[in-house]
Amino acid sequence: MRERTRERLRRLPFPPLRDLVDKHPSTGANLDVLDGVRGLAVVLVIASHSGAFGLDDHGAVGVWLFFALSAFLLTMPFTRHPERLGDPRWLGRYVARRLRRILPPYFLLLAVWWGFAGGTSDTILRHALFLEGNLHLWSIPQEMLFYLLLPFLAALYPLVFRRNALAAALGFAALAALASFGLTVGRFSLTTNGHPQRFFLAVFLCGMAASYAAQAPVLIEIARRPAARRILNGVGFVLLALLVLTARSYHEVAAQWIPVLRQLSPPLGWVHPGAFGAIAGALIFIAVVCTGSAIQRTMSALPLRALGLVSYSAYLLHVPIGFTLASLVPRGLGRFAIVLAVSYGLACLSYTFVERPFLVIRSKDSG
């Protein structure tokens, strides 16, 4: 982002835009492009639930991108300060930060559901304890379980990989492949809409692998070379296209042009989530390390970043908004545009008055 634009945003009395410049994430790195990735993820989710762009009811594509990005970001502090894994106070602050990030808007939504939308006490309690996740809330227990596992997974970096970021990247990629094929519903599952659902650990592990790769000196040095950066830039746009092609509707269209895709029905990302995680992780890695590249500028576009900053609240709110509009606006591009606009407006209010007070507290104890 240009310095002049940063100064203009910094002077705005509107936190959802001002914080694009001034926020202080617990990872210690405010990477513009990662806000853009969040924005892309929530666009994919809302488009799928609105029946737009052929992404009909396959919002998991956007949610998986959230998972990979979450793992990428949360792995960074553990990589930079692995000694903190043995510090109970720092681990306690890590847990507190995660709870303050997730709970305020989530519990507010549950309260509204219970008070105005007929949610039973038993259902609300199960959601509050992360034992169940109905509709789009299926992603919350997935995230919470990963938060619990992350310190144990991150301990592999100093204990097994000897603080070698490249070895850790390769190791976690291998673990992602194992989880993608081996961690089936029959072996372990969470509950959504009363049915078992697989734990998408493979997608999170791909995000961790990408995080270690982005901190590997040899890979950073390669990415700085002009020829390598041009190649990676092109690969990044290919990955961006493949990310969308993992959705079923687009997969069926692509199979008309690429016959081999007919052998993968449903598409590979749905059979083995690690395939999608690998695409998402590689895209995030390229967008971060290829400084000044076209893919980084594309993913750092201000509209995507603005949406990305409030993406959590927008994600929570877009389904009730969609239900409200269901009888008024037919599925398609029109509903997508309205749901996106209303979700962004309400998410800005939620971010300012519900999320942000806890984020400000978090910034004070992020060390």
Per-residue pLDDT at 367? 41
Contacts of 173 (CB under 8 A, 6+ apart): 205, 206, 209, 278
For residues 342-362, average pLDDT: 87
**pLDDT band with cut points at 50, 70 and 90 for residue 96:** very high
**Mean pLDDT, rounded, for 347-367:** 75
DSSP string, 26-50: TTS---HHHHHHHHHHHHHHHHHHH
**Whole-number pLDDT of residue 3:** 62
> Phi, psi (5° rounding) for residue 30?
-100, 85
Give the DSSP letter string of 164-220.
-HHHHHHHHHHHHHHHHHH--TTT-EEEETTEEEE--HHHHHHHHHHHHHHT-HHHH
Position 254 pLDDT exceeds 60:
no
pLDDT band with cut points at 50, 70 and 90 for residue 246 = low
pLDDT in tens, 223-241: 989 999 999 999 999 998 8
Are the CB atoms for 75 and 94 separated by under 8 Å? no
> What pLDDT, on a 0 to 100 scale, did the predictor assign at position 187?
87
- Looking at residue 85, its pLDDT comes to 87
* Whether the predicted pLDDT of 302 surpasses 70: yes
Tokens of 104: 């305020």
CA pair distance 279, 161, nearest whole angstrom = 24
Residue 201 has pLDDT above 80, yes or no: yes
Is the separation of the CB atoms in 56 and 249 below 8 Å? yes
From the CB of residue 226, how many other CB atoms can be counted at a distance below 10 Å?
7
pLDDT over 90, % of the chain: 52
How far apart are alpha carbons 359 and 346 in whole angstroms?
18
pLDDT at 210: 96
Q: How far is CA 77 from CA 29, 81, 141, 151, 340, in A?
A: 10, 6, 22, 11, 33
Dihedral sign from CA coordinates of 204, 208, 214, 218: negative
| Whether residue 213 has pLDDT greater than 60 | yes
Closest of 329, 339, 354, 282 to residue 307, by C-alpha: 339
Residue 364 has pLDDT above 50, yes or no: no
* Cα-trace Rg, the chain: 20
Per-residue pLDDT for 25 more than 70?
no
- Residues with Cβ within 8 Å of residue 142, at least 6 apart in sequence: 67, 133, 190, 199, 200
